[in-house]
Amino acid sequence: GGNKASDESTRFAWLRELVNEVRRQSDPIEFVNAVKEDLFLKEVLVFSPGGDLYALPRGSSVLDFAFKVHSDLGYHCAGAKVNGKMVSLKHQIKNGDMIEILESIHQTPKREWLQYVRTSKAKNRIRAWLKRRQREHSIVVGKEMINRGLKEYNPRGDDAAARKEYSRKLDHVLTTFKLKDEKHLFTALGYGQISIKNVMTEVFGAAAIATRGHSHSINKKEK
């Protein structure tokens, strides 16, 4: 860990010197393209509109650049301008490019973005965001499944009594399915890792589940 940090510090100290040199040039793009250090065989050096210099692997896209600058900029990257011209998110950057990222709070990562990026930071951030959103969605789905289950499976048709019984049996349910808390129960249901019938069996008992539909839910037609 320490050596890597030291190597990066040394390399970026050299890059800072390069930035200062670039800023003294009348034509910085020509200067950058003229530098033939080995670094440029593996990486591209690009600029933010403010003149900050960023090094990225060759083949990186403007989306990689956005995540390099800041994760939030990547998450909400709606487009980009390279050297003043509009480009797509998959546009590959080149040495000396000046990149301006266009943000929108309505823009969020999509699965196809994984095909547009090369850097591990961008890939990891996109995957983590998608996984988080999927988990949030599964919690909503799981919670709704519990609410429906309490109506459909409870033997007396009394919603308040069913919810009270569920609250009383919750710890037992979590222990049975080896789950940490209620949120993990919702998640497991939403992902389909456990079935609502099995959960309701632990809440109301197998006998009550077996007679489901004969008392109160006979009027509920399945759509």
**Which pLDDT belongs to residue 218?**
39
**Which pLDDT belongs to residue 156?**
76
Return the residue matching tokens 């109506």.
Answer: 151
Q: Strands 53-57 and 99-103: what pairing?
A: unpaired
**Residues with Cβ within 8 Å of residue 12, at least 6 apart in sequence:** 55
**Which pLDDT belongs to residue 157?**
74
* Distance separating alpha carbons of residues 166 and 147, to the nearest angstrom: 10
**Residues with Cβ within 8 Å of residue 75, at least 6 apart in sequence:** 107, 108, 109, 125, 129
Question: What string of pLDDT tens digits covers the 223 residues of the chain?
Answer: 556 566 666 666 666 766 776 676 666 666 666 555 545 568 899 999 998 999 999 999 999 999 999 999 999 999 999 999 999 999 999 999 999 999 999 999 999 999 999 999 999 999 999 999 999 999 999 999 999 999 888 877 788 888 999 999 999 999 999 999 999 999 999 999 999 999 999 998 887 777 664 544 434 443 3
Q: pTM higher than 0.85 for the full model?
A: no
Number of residues that make up the chain: 223
